[in-house]
Structure 1
Amino acid sequence: MVITVDDDPASLVELLWIRDAWDLRPDHDDVPPPLADPPDPGVNGEDEVDIQAWQAAWPEIWGATLRHAGEVLDPALFDAIRGTANNSPERMELLARITGPSWRDRFGDTGLVRFQPWQASQFRRRTASLPTSTEEQPEHRSLDALINAWRHGLTRIVTIPCRGSFTRVIGPHALLMTDETRADAEAFSAALRQFGS
């Protein structure tokens, strides 16, 4: 049994940060709760931004990024990239397929001046709270539910650093949930039971 846990999905976290930092209110019926460690609101010191355009584009970018997070990447992509020249169109296309869509594809670095420091603080927080033994791993504490989900095709768990509970099946082999859900054995088991039911 092999389960991959992506606890730092960069493009998804970047989108959630943009939403919270710029107080976007996307017109989307299935949006995760706010970030557990919210960025400072009202980001200043940047060029004028078009909040309405951002708000309108956010749901589309979120949907595309979420679909990519739920895909199982073909390992042949990584082999193929080795056979391409640096900065060639072929390599750029393969890299785009591997990394998937992102906010930066549409808007560049605009609005992200304070994202890097926030992201670095999140990395320090996550690494400071890592389990120190196998028995403390969330997957070990919810092993029965994990095995059942795996039998129904689960191979990938993607977590986002949002408050409260939010769990969604995002592909035939992937499940999205909050860090908080994964950290709580009972909530994690319940989330895993959503897969394949």
Structure 2
Amino acid sequence: MRSVNPIPGNPWPHDMVIRVQDSPWALYELLWLREAHGLQPAGDDLPPLLARTPSPASTSPDAATRARWESAWTRLWRAASAHAGREQDHEGHARLIAMKPGDPGRTELLHHIIGPTWRDEFGDEAFDDPSYTQRERSTPEERAAARPRTLADNPEHRDLEALIPAWRAGLTTIVTIPCRGEHTRRIGDNALLTTAATRADSAAYRRALASFV
């Protein structure tokens, strides 16, 4: 979404680039975990529930583990959200591809690119569950089905009048999560986190973009 020179008749600013991150897996994992395990993390700015409620996890943590999980969830959500909103590190990706397994610094670079995750702190065990497997398989199809079929249906083109002032105020990245209702949070100097439902509704999306200005 960028050109070197202005294009006559095109209302999209030729130098405006907006990245839409609709596959933040670290956030999806946290959202699944919260609902599948019935966690009740504390916080006044947490995201709403998933639009499609996952099946309950087949096993439940003991009381002490649940308390640790609930205590860590909000902190990890905020850290993972902030990372999802950062500019992509293309140079880091190129260095990672050039590295061989076992190269010094590879693990550190991989962590820098992926960002903080639940697995870093608690391991993979919670995700070895039929509920998560079912969710993981269905998510790509749901995301593909939700994508606009024409340029005119694209939310950024549909609501260009609201997007341009937000971009001029510094917005470069929009992170979407598959949660219910209208919800928008600023996650850094250049990014907004919003629900897919907010982005799909013109009036709600315009309010979200206006909140950045």
Normalised-by-shorter TM-score class: over 0.9
User: Quick one: which amino acid aligns to residue 105 of structure 1?
Assistant: D
Residue 146 of structure 1 corresponds to which residue in structure 2?
163
Deviation of 1:99 after TM superposition, in Å, equals 0.5
Cα deviations by residue, 1:122-180 (Å, 9 ceiling, x for unpaired): 22122123211100111111011111111111110000000011101101110000000
Residue 192 of structure 2 corresponds to which residue in structure 1?
175
Larger Rg: 2
Residue 162 of structure 1 corresponds to which residue in structure 2?
179
Asked if residue 24 in structure 1 is aligned to residue 42 in structure 2, the reply is no
Query: Deviation above 6 Å: which 4+ runs of structure 1?
Result: none
Moved more, 126-135 or 77-86: 77-86
Cα deviations by residue, 1:56-101 (Å, 9 ceiling, x for unpaired): 1111211211121122233321233244332324111111100001
TM-score by length of 2: 0.85
Summarize the alignment of residues 1-197 of structure 1 with structure 2, pairs less than 5 Å apart.
1-41=16-56, 43-45=57-59, 50-112=65-127, 113=129, 114-196=131-213
User: Quick one: which amino acid aligns to residue 82 of structure 2?
Assistant: R
TM-score by length of 1: 0.92
Cα deviations by residue, 1:26-79 (Å, 9 ceiling, x for unpaired): 0222111100001113x1157868211111111121121112112223332123
Paired residues of 2:37 and 2:60 also in contact (CA < 8 A):
no
Aligned-partner Cα distance in 2 for 1:90–1:84 = 9
Paired positions, count? 195
Paired residues of 1:35 and 1:163 also in contact (CA < 8 A):
yes
The 1:121/1:83 distance shift into structure 2, 3 A limit, reads closer
Aligned-partner Cα distance in 2 for 1:88–1:174 = 33
SS state at 1:111 partner: helix
The 1:74/1:122 distance shift into structure 2, 3 A limit, reads closer
SS state at 1:182 partner: helix
> Identity rate of aligned residues, in percent?
45
Residue 5 of structure 2 corresponds to which residue in structure 1?
none
Aligned-partner Cα distance in 2 for 1:95–1:101 = 11
